[in-house]
Structure 1
Amino acid sequence: MRFFGLKSCDTCRKALKTLAAAGHAPTVIDVRADGVSDADRAAIIAAFGDASINRASTTWRGLSDAEKTADPATLLAAHPTLMKRPVIEADDQWTLGWKADVQAKYLGD
């Protein structure tokens, strides 16, 4: 299991703590500190498309109108913190966010 997130993200911290309590030991990739590989970025965009961009983030609000029109691949390459988080990859399947459906998938609830 690989976990893409930010160390400073409250949702990511909560998700990691919950996953650890359930017996998972994900490999954590901090998108700011570690970056996201081209292959992983392409897989995330293939799985989620435009939904992979967090339009509620401070980073998004700081972009110019011209920058906001760029495609998700360009945006995430230039600003990895724009990625909606967490993104979890397990058994070649990807999930986005930490809502009830994702929690049920990994926690068995």
Structure 2
Amino acid sequence: MELTIFGIKNCDTMKKAIKWLDDNGVGYHFHDYKKEGVPEQRLRQWLEALGWETVINKRGTTWRKLDDAVKESMNTEKAITVATENPSIIKRPILQNDHFILAGFKADEWKDTLN
């Protein structure tokens, strides 16, 4: 699998991450959640590798708009349902290839992982 960056095009963090990849000459494929959705198999892979607490963005508007009962009872299966219905709740970006899955943009971590 080639390097893929998953996210939403107009997100400021995504813009920074894509600029970093471009500036560092890293080739990638961009997968837009809003246009292409989130494949359930991929989402399950992220949740298994990183945990729902990492994959689900609890700092964003989408999380804050969820019913309190949903937030309080969140688990992996609920995260799949919620993220499939509301892809903007997934932390951005998710960077993945055959060897790793990273959530969020941290330039130092990306540099260490990609070099």
Give the shorter-chain TM-score range.
0.7 to 0.9
Amino acid at match of 2:69: A
Question: Structure 1: 5+ residue runs without aligned partners?
Answer: none
Which position in structure 1 is the counterpart of 2:110?
A: 102
Greater share of residues in helix: 2
Quote the Cα distance in structure 2 between the aligned partners of 1:48 and 1:35. 20
Which position in structure 2 is the counterpart of 1:55?
A: 58
Which position in structure 2 is the counterpart of 1:66?
A: 69
Q: Secondary structure at the match of 2:57?
A: coil
**Count of residue correspondences:** 107
Contact 2:37 2:84 in 1 (8 A): no
Quote the Cα distance in structure 2 between the aligned partners of 1:93 and 1:105. 8
Contact 2:96 2:102 in 1 (8 A): yes
Contact 2:6 2:33 in 1 (8 A): yes
Give 1:42's match in structure 2, choosing from 28, 32, 44: 44
Question: Structure 2: 5+ residue runs without aligned partners?
Answer: none
**After the TM superposition, which of the residue ranges 87-96 and 10-19 deviates more from structure 2?**
87-96
Which position in structure 2 is the counterpart of 1:6?
A: 8
1:76-95, aligned counterparts within 5 Å?
76-95=83-102
Find runs of 4+ consecutive structure 1 residues off by over 6 angstroms.
Answer: none
> TM-score w.r.t. structure 2 length?
0.83
> TM-score w.r.t. structure 1 length?
0.88
Amino acid at match of 2:25: G
Quote the Cα distance in structure 1 between the aligned partners of 2:35 and 2:70. 22
CA shift digits 1:9-36 (9 cap, x unpaired): 1111111111012112211111122111
Quote the Cα distance in structure 1 between the aligned partners of 2:19 and 2:4. 14
Superposition RMSD in Å: 1.4
Contact 1:96 1:102 in 2 (8 A): no
Percent of aligned pairs sharing the same letter: 32
